[in-house]
Structure 1
Amino acid sequence: MGWLLLFAAGCSEIVFAISLKYNDGFTKLWPSVVTGVSGAGSFYLLMLAIRTLPLGTAYAVWTGMGAVGVAIIGIFLFKESADWFRLASILLIIVGIVGLKLTHVE
């Protein structure tokens, strides 16, 4: 259950980060609401996940999911660079996340 909560927290973190781009310094109501709700939801789900998962592992996976998700969405939604070095770097983060999952013993 901890990994499922952590996955949901990571997805919520991606929504939170993307919504920061749209709330224009908290001057737009609905994007600001999305930012607040997704940010609070992400922290809450992370808090629940660390009840059963090691803190270091959970935090690293949570931030890694956010970084990878936002980087990939940025490539498609905001036309950010998709050069080979950036994609390789994203892949390295994914390898790290998978490695943390595989080394977690319950």
Structure 2
Amino acid sequence: MAEPRCPRCGDSLADYTEDDLVYLTGDDRPYCSGECVVATWRAAQKEPAVGPRCGNNPNVRLSPGDQQAVDEFRAYLARRRAGGPPERYPFSDGGPS
């Protein structure tokens, strides 16, 4: 049987007595320290993933630079859809060859 390990840091629990082990409320697994319990709890409190990180996902907050790139590309697509000439090609290579 494999020796028990802390679920957070992976340290061996073989050298700990039962009184030394720390438990997270609602979790039967023993942890090696209070720091590991707190880190596990904090990680669980963060927002769950809301899907892919892209401009098409309204649940993701993009950085200002990413948002600007998405807005510029959407404007480029809108100009193309309207039949007008694109003011500029949205990529840095200067356009299609």
Quick check: TM above 0.5? no
Higher relative contact order (CA 8 A, sep 6+): 1
TM-score by length of 2: 0.28
TM-score by length of 1: 0.27
Higher helix residue share = 1
